[in-house]
Structure 1
Amino acid sequence: MGIVDGKRIRPEYSATAEGAHTKAEAILRRKILEYENAGTVFKPQEITLQDFLSFWMEEYVDLKLEPNTYYN
């Protein structure tokens, strides 16, 4: 990466996040996953399939797809 104070600086690798090459990237990936999954985590015994599908229709399909697609 470069030389600082006469010493070669090497990238630090971490296996903490899938596909991450550096510690900073691993932290960033972890934070992005936390953000994307915030409020949408369900324990299997706490929700039925019908409840989940209703949630998915309201929170994903209705917001991200065109009305005709939603209707179909």
Structure 2
Amino acid sequence: MPAETLDLREVPPPQRHPMIHEAFQTLDSGEALEIVNDHEPKPLFYEFQAEVEAFDAEGYSCEERDDGNYVARLPKA
């Protein structure tokens, strides 16, 4: 179960990544941040993989829902 879920669908795009980074920083090791988005967050995955040492890229998952939205899980190592 995620430690926190952020629904980003109504958040203006320029505010999304800073909000995600801030929420991720508050997690403890072993917890995960879940995001709900209106597009596949591949750029976010690559950004976290390159810039966030505590990001567990192996544990990352993302699925598309029937409504065209995406739910991604970003675990913290």
TM-score scaled by length of structure 1: 0.27
Higher relative contact order (CA 8 A, sep 6+): 2
Structure with the largest fraction of helix: 1
TM-score scaled by length of structure 2: 0.26
Instruction: Point out the structure with max Rg over C-alpha.
Output: 1
